[in-house]
């Protein structure tokens, strides 16, 4: 066991801080620098993440804008081509309307001709039937 005089001497030689809330200020300087370093490191990582995100959005936005511009240019060219074809087809469609009238007149004439053909075919069939009766009686060579 320790001697009482040793304990009294040891207690009197150790410096004590009269204000316990200021003990942090007495701490070595390296202990207080480490947490600040982590804060600055965290701020740097956050800044880099935000800057990278902004760069990513800007690059994607530029790609989208370029795609939109090329699409609008192709759409404009296609629209011009379609309009040119419509201008070429317009007179042809009007000519088809006139030709349609001629075709319907031709179809009406064809129907009349087919009716006449039916009458003539029936008449020829009657004549053949009559002739075959007479030729059936006359002997062949």
The kind and range of the H/E element at 123 are helix 29-137
Is the model's pTM score more than 0.85?
no
Using pLDDT thresholds of 50, 70 and 90, give the confidence band for residue 17. Answer: low
The reported pLDDT for the residue numbered 23 is 52
* pLDDT of 42: 92
Q: What is the mean pLDDT of the chain?
A: 81
* pLDDT at residue number 5: 56
Mean pLDDT of 11-40: 61
The predicted pLDDT at position 7 comes to 53
pLDDT for position 121: 93
Looking at residue 78, its pLDDT comes to 93
At 97 the pLDDT is 77
Provide the Cα torsion 42, 47, 50, 54; round to 10°: -160
Name the residue ranges covered by the structural domains of the chain: 36-128
C-alpha distances (whole Å) from 36 to each of 39, 47, 48, 50 are 5, 16, 18, 21
């Amino acid at each position: 066991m320790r001697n009482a005089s040793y304990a009294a001497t040891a207690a009197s030689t150790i410096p004590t801080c009269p204000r316990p809330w200021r003990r942090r200020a007495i701490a070595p300087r390296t202990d207080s620098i480490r947490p600040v370093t982590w804060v600055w490191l965290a701020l740097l990582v956050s800044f880099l993440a935000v800057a990278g995100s902004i760069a990513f959005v800007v690059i994607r936005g530029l790609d989208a804008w370029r795609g939109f511009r090329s699409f609008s240019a192709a759409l404009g060219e296609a629209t011009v081509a379609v309009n040119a074809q419509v201008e070429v087809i317009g007179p042809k469609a009007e000519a088809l309307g006139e030709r349609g009238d001629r075709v319907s007149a031709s179809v009406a004439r064809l129907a009349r001709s087919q009716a006449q053909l039916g009458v003539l075919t029936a008449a020829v069939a009657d004549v053949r039937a009559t002739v075959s009766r007479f030729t059936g009686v006359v002997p062949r060579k």
